[in-house]
Chain A
Amino acid sequence: MRHDTFVLSLMWRETRNCVKSANLSDLAWVVLGGSAFLAYGAGNAVVALRRGSETLRARQEPWIIVLLAAFALGLAGGVILSKVAWSRAFAPFLKALPLSITERRRMAAVAALSIGAPFVVLAGAGVGAACLRVDKPYAAAWGFGAGTTCAAGVASALYLQLFVANNEAPDDLSTPFANAAKCIPAPWLATFDRAAPAWLGAWACGLPAGALRLTARLFATSFLFVLAAALAIGASLARHEAAPAAVAGMIGGLIAFMISLRCHPLGSPVLRTTPQGFMSVWLRLLRLPLVLSAVCFVAPASAAVIAEPSAWTTPVASGLCLLILNGAYAVFAGFFLNAPLVAALAFFIAIAYAGYEFLEYGDTVIIGFAALIALLWHKSLRRYRHG
């Protein structure tokens, strides 16, 4: 069909325009910094492979984990790709055109597969090269296996997102009351959201007129949170150890904070043309997510104290750690203000990388991480003030 590559071509043009409109200095940072970072990462990986070559050559378990990781990577990539492609298939100028859902689905699938295929090849080639580096027998077969499992991940995500879940146009932000019947008023929200600037939390989280939208996703997320907390609390109480519940509280609190924090109002002229400073708006945006984070933390942390009263410092330390992580993520979210998923990915990569380098360089890495946070904060502040 002649429309099949339309979404792909649209995405290509968007990327090209994005690069064209970027500052030369920003592009230089991305290209040079990114290349240096990749080279450094590849060098580190080669050294790590050489160090563990004997184990990696002899044992199969690490490679099975690699295959599972390739599947997970493919799945995650596939979800992102299909979501982006599906939204483009319903771009405003395409909405009114006489294209059936099947045609739109096919356009999105072609785009997602075309972009996903090189990543699958890269994943397979990377694993194959690693096998060759440690002289693993059947290196090509392992590489092919990794590529295949990654492709299976991408294909599963595409199938689930495009052919099972999406039978209608994606949610339109401009019509949040389309599901009016599923909205319930949330008067308790007003207590948190009345302080100046009023209703900022409802605006940031997209709660239509301050009401709560009851969606399947909200129920599923709440269920998972409750289940994880219950399991961790049960483990702590059964073993009389504070650690499981304290750690679960910290992770749950962080995830709740990350899911609920939205910073897009920082980019809006509604606030930028008013006498409201960046700091006060940013802090105000954290209020509701911090309350949710505290709610998710308190129950497991209390259970941790009950399970092992003498180890009360464990939940206190995890609470402090949660506060620091929340603060760090809030800076990432403020920087990537319209892209919370990118903010979360960047945050996890930064934390993982800092953790990895911490083993080698110790406390110096913390200074580097703090410098990164300060840089992102400074850039967000400048953008708020000067666009």
Chain B
Amino acid sequence: MDKSAALDVLTVRGVSAGYRGRRIVADISVELRFGDVLGLLGANGSGKSTLLKAVTGQIRLMAGTVAIAGVDLEQAPERAKAELGLAIDGPELPSALSGRQYLELVASIRSCAASDWPCSDVVSRLGLSAWLARPIAEYSLGTRAKISIAAALLGSPKLLIFDESLNGLDPLAAFEVKEMIRELAATGRHAIVVSTHVVETVPALCTRAIFLADGRIVEHWNTQELAQASQAPGAFESCVMKALNAHALQSAAVA
């Protein structure tokens, strides 16, 4: 392994993935280093969730490789997943368990304490204290997202993935989560992927961004480009819309 690869928390090379033999994402290559916050953008059905499922080992790769902290996901899935924290989608959470039990479940798997978070006071910052004793079934969409984020942070995994986890959060919790993401990235001990439809969040939060359309990366922005694009209100949104329209025109021309 070369020196630059050793710094990569996530290495995705030529990945194609999909369901039942049908490719949803194709030829995706992304590398993430400590301190990176990658914004994953794309229209509905563009392949964002499929890509994240492939990266988190939930579906088999049709081509390419994924390595988390230098460990190949196909060859050593358990070792690779030890470095991964995924904020689970709300409906997938174990609704019978209480919030505390869910945190204990994740902590027992990660062999850490149920309060071993990389930043302080996660439960109270997210406003979860009053909910921990109650079953997840009683949680609203936003509260489910909060417990899911708290569980993803347990044990301080190197790679953190938030798949539309900001959806449904109240403004205070959304602010706290964004603050936490910034703090974690600033420590240089984590890399973070944020998949979101809230386009304006990306330049304020992410150091890089990619835009998926029809399962391929059609546009990407580095830190400087994101900073430039966010100088005027709505500028980055216009930028993304341009990319979306350009791709739509290209697809229409091909068709």
Contact = CB atoms under 8 A, between A and B. Distances in A.
B204 interface: no
Interface stretch (B73-81, B188-196, B240-248): B73-81
A205 B98 CA distance: 14
Interface residues of B, number: 39
Interface in A160-198: 173-177, 195-198
Interface stretch (A236-244, A262-270, A339-347, A349-357): A262-270
A277 B92 CA distance: 19
Interface in B47-89: 53, 56-60, 77-79, 81-82, 84, 86, 88-89
Contact of A203 (B53, B57, B60, B97): B97
Interface stretch (A55-63, A207-215, A295-303): A207-215
Contacts, number: 108
Given A198-B108, A199-B97, A269 B135 contact: no
Contacts of A195: 108
A66 B108 CA distance: 54
B97 A197 contact: no
Interface size classification for chain A: 35 or more
B96 A208 contact: yes
Contacts of B94: 199, 203, 265, 268, 270
Contacts of B86: 269, 273
Interface string A303-321: 0000000000000000000
B96 A198 contact: no
A385 B110 CA distance: 18
Nearest to B83: A275
B88 A270 contact: yes
B97 A387 contact: no
Contacts of A173: 95, 137
Contacts of A277: 78
A199 B81 contact: no
A206 B105 contact: no
Contacts of B92: 268-270
A176 B135 contact: yes
A173 B101 CA distance: 18
A270 B56 contact: no
Nearest to A175: B137
Interface in A286-302: none
Contacts of B93: 270
Given A196-B109, A198-B101, A206 B96 contact: yes
A386 B79 CA distance: 15
Contacts of A21: 20
Contacts of A270: 88, 92-94, 105-106
Given A265-B94, A268-B94, A274-B81, A209 B53 contact: no
User: Max chain A CB contacts within 10 Å: which of B56, B77, B109?
Assistant: B109
A297 B26 CA distance: 54
A202 interface: yes
Contacts of A200: 105
A210 B20 CA distance: 37
A287 B21 CA distance: 36
User: Max chain A CB contacts within 10 Å: which of B58, B84, B101, B106?
Assistant: B101
Nearest to B58: A387
A269 B89 contact: yes
Contacts of B104: 198-199
Given A268-B92, A275-B82, 14 more contacts: A177-B134, A177-B137, A198-B101, A198-B105, A199-B104, A208-B135, A209-B101, A210-B97, A269-B58, A270-B92, A270-B94, A274-B109, A275-B81, A387-B59
22 contacts: A23-B21, A176-B137, A196-B108, A197-B105, A199-B97, A199-B102, A202-B96, A203-B101, A208-B137, A209-B96, A209-B133, A209-B135, A269-B58, A269-B86, A270-B106, A272-B58, A273-B81, A274-B110, A275-B110, A387-B53, A387-B58, A387-B59
